[in-house]
Structure formats: C-alpha cells, structure tokens
Amino acid sequence: MTPGDWLSVGLFAAILATLMTGYPIAVSLAGCSMLFAGLGWLLGAFDPSILHALPNRYLGSMQSEMLVAVPLFVFMGFVLERSGIAEALLTTMGQLFGKLRGGLGVSVVLVGALLAASTGVVGATVVTMGLISLPAMMRAGYDARLATGVICASSTLAQIIPPSTVLIFVGDILGAANQAAQMELGNFAPEPVSVGDLFAGALIPGLILVGLYLAYVIATAALRPAACPAIPMTAAERAGLMRRVLLSLLPPLVLVVAVLGSILGGLATPTESASVGALGAVVLALAKRRLTLEMLRDASFSTMVTASMIFLIVLGASAFSLVFRGLGGDHLVEGALRQMPGGAFGAMLVVMAVMFALGFFLDTFEIILIMVPICGPALIKLGLDPVWIGVMIGMNLQTSFLTPPFGFTLFYMRGIAPATVPTRDIWLGALPWVALQVAGLALLALFPVAATWLPARLFQ
C-alpha cells in the first residue's frame, strides 16, 4: 500500500473515532480532512491544489435546485404535525381498527405509512404517534414492547417511502457518482440518475415493508392475543365514525397525490412538488382553522434548525470526499470491492453490512455523506444499477433509527414514554422490527426488480 492508501484508511478511521466522542459531524468531517490533507502534502501523497475545487463544490451545493426540496419537505412535515392534522388522523384510524385484536397496531402502521408519504420527518412522526397512540395502547393492555416497537418502526417509514429527505441526498450523491463512474468506463452520454428515479424505485419496497409490519401485528394478535387486545367503543364514539375517518383521511391523501403524483407522473421535479406540498400543508391547516402565526413561526424555526444542520454536514462532507479521493482512497475502495468473493453482489453485501454496523453508532446522514461518495462509484463500476443501490441504502439506513444504543426513534420514545415503561423494553421492543427491515432488505437484494421496475416504466 502507498502512503496515500494508508492516509485514506487513517482518515476514515479518524473520522469514525472523532464521531464516537460526540464531536459535531460537520466539524469532524472538515477538520479531520484538512488535517490529513496537510499530512498527505508533507508526505508527498496529496496535491494541495486539489483543494482549489472546494469553493466551487460549496457554491454548487448552495445553488443546487435539487437540495432546495429538503427544507420544503421538512417544512411541510412540521406544518402537518403542528396543525394537528396528523393527530386527527391517528385518533380516527385508531377508533376504526381498535375494536379488532391488534387493531391499534394496524392503525399505527397504516397512519405511519400515510404520514411518511406526506411528511418525511421521522422525529415529528414518532413524537406525534407516541403521544397519542402509546397511552391508548397502554390503557388497552397492550404489551409495552409491542406498543413502543410498532410506533418506532412505523415512524421510520418516512425514510424509505417518498418523499424522503434521505433519498434526496442519496439520489443527489449517486447521480454525481454515476456520471463520474460512467465517464471513467468510457460512456460519455450516460443515463442520468435522478431523485425522481429513487422516489419511484422506493415506492414498492416501502409498501413491501408496510406489508411485513402488518403481517407481524396480525400474527402477534393471532398467536399472543393478550399482547394486543381489542378496545371496546362506546356508542358515542361509534356515531359518525366513518364520516370522521373520511374527513381526517382525505386531506393527507390529497396532499400525497399532489406531491407524489406530480413527481411520478413526470409533471414536476421533486423541488417543484415540494413547493406544492409546503403550500398545500399551509392551505390544509388554514382549511381546518388550525393555522396560526405562532404555529407558522414554530414550524419555520424548526425547519431552519433542521435544514441548517443538514446542509452544514453537506459542506463538511464535500471536504471529506475531495481529500479522500485526492489521497487515492477511491481506487483503494474499488480494488478492495473487486476482490470480494461473489463478484458485484458480494461487494454490495459487504457495503450493506458495513452500513448496517455503522447504524448502531452513527446518524443516517453521517453514514450517507461518508459512505456513499466512497462506495457508490465503485459499486456502479462493477455494473450494479444505481437506482437499486440507492433504494438498498435507503432501506438499510432505515434500521439506524431503531438499533440501540443510538437509534433516534428510541431516544424520542424514551422521552415521551411513561416511567412505567423501562428503557430495556423500548430497546427489546425494537428488535423484531429491525429483523423485519433486514428481511425486507434481503427480499430487495434477491429481487432488484422491485426497485427498478417502476422507474423504468415511468421514466423510460
């Protein structure tokens, strides 16, 4: 190995070690990268003129029309959560299915899928569903592990069911990686990979995951009826139930059709549909007479904080990917993956295993912005479909929200769960749902057509 290879490995290890100490990711990425760039320059393994490209990268990120969709989708999710639209949906769907054994669990999964398609914000979803559904489940006698697990897992659907901020970043990075990889392979007119492709590709796998969740809840109700009993309803609660369900269900459905339909139908780009979604969420809140200046200010501030954090990480990741490639790390990774047993599929399996392991300790965006620029081009050069790669990454990283000790949904659930629910039950309750996500990932690995069929039909 050359000095550049050793420095590439050292850079990757140093960033992981720094992140483990709790240091902010943006500073860790940029600081470690500049440190190793200096070491590489002293050892003659790094050309400092490569850093001249950094300002253009920052400017390109700030001018990227695609990334504008991120704060718009985040704002849409916060408005729906703050306006109480999600709360009304949860309450009425719980009443609709609650009279069946496991019905509350089924309603949580269905509402989680619908909120995922209309918000894309995990934190807002898990807090909303936890505050409303968890007390009802505990009063009904639900097993604490099942109740907390189904709420946490259903909330993570926002990371795979479009519109998803995770898929936006994966698509943006993979699009650039695909173009660079194809150019190196001699294809100077490659088919572009867009975020719309990933949105379409993730739709069927996301629905498969919803099906696995529902099957687990139904099987638990059949095998362990005491863990998820039915909820008796009063005559007052049954009166006008269907009307309340329709009134609660229709607004989010209209928003989903407007946002996803415009993207999948080729009528709008993800950024354009995000603006429609943000405006649509405000209109829905206004129509339900829940739009206030305080609510708008709160949603706007939360959006600013979330988006600023994400984009600061993007700037740090730009420095990392530039220095890592300048040290020759991309060639090292490509060579290592080519030597993996099992060819391209074996290389993909190794990358997925590494990402899954990192999910126990790192945040989703940290893993994306570190791993995808490193492994994406190498996997594409091995002949793998970039859309399938992107959806596999999205579904894999969904598990990082559920895996202890740093799964964010577990933190959110601990914050809203009563003291009678121990942390141990929250952690153990998440494990079956992690297994279901791994099963969904395995199905997608065995049948890539689940991710590639719909984009091919819609966009080609």
Q: Quick one: pLDDT at residue 181?
A: 82
CA distances 68 to 158, 165, 269, 275, Å, are 18, 11, 11, 9
End-to-end CA distance of the chain: 43
- Note whether residue 42 is domain-resident: no
Length of the chain: 460
**Residue 90 lies in domain:** 51-459
CB atoms within 10 A of CB 134: 23
pLDDT-based confidence at residue 120 (cuts at 50, 70, 90): low
pLDDT bucket at 449, cuts 50 / 70 / 90: very high
Total structural domains in the chain? 1
Query: With 80 as the cut, is the pLDDT of residue 302 above it?
Result: yes
Phi, psi of 22 (to 5 degrees): 90, 10
Instruction: Say what the pLDDT of residue 2 is.
Output: 79
Q: Kindly report the average pLDDT of the chain as a whole number.
A: 83
Residue of higher predicted confidence among 125 and 193: 193
Q: Report pLDDT digits (tens) over 155-169.
A: 888 888 888 888 888
Segment (H or E) for 394? helix 386-398
pLDDT confidence tier of residue 75, bands split at 50, 70 and 90: confident
Q: Examine the pLDDT at 361 and tell me if it is beyond 80.
A: no
Distance CA 99, CA 106 (A): 11
User: Distance between CA atoms of 275 and 270, rounded to whole angstroms?
Assistant: 9
Round to whole Å and give the CA distance between 412 and 350: 30
Task: Please state the rounded mean pLDDT for residues 372-384.
Answer: 87
Assess contact for 104 and 135: CB atoms under 8 A: no
Position 11 in a domain: no
Which pLDDT score is estimated for 204? 93
pTM: 0.82
pLDDT given for residue 306 in this prediction: 78
CB 98 within 8 A of CB 104: yes
Does the residue 124 lie in any domain? yes
- Range 412-439 average pLDDT: 87
**Range in 85-89, 225-229, 261-265 with the lowest mean pLDDT:** 85-89
Does residue 394 belong to any structural domain of this protein?
yes
Arithmetic mean of pLDDT, 33-55: 87
User: Is the pLDDT reported for residue 416 higher than 90?
Assistant: no
The top-scoring range by mean pLDDT among 272-281, 396-405, 439-448 is: 439-448
How many CB atoms within 10 Å of residue 265?
A: 11
Inside any domain, residue 400: yes
Phi first, then psi: what are they for 88, rounded to 5°? -65, -40
Note whether residue 324 is domain-resident.
Answer: yes
Position 5 in a domain? no
Q: Is 92 inside any structural domain?
A: yes
Contacts of 240 (CB under 8 A, 6+ apart): none
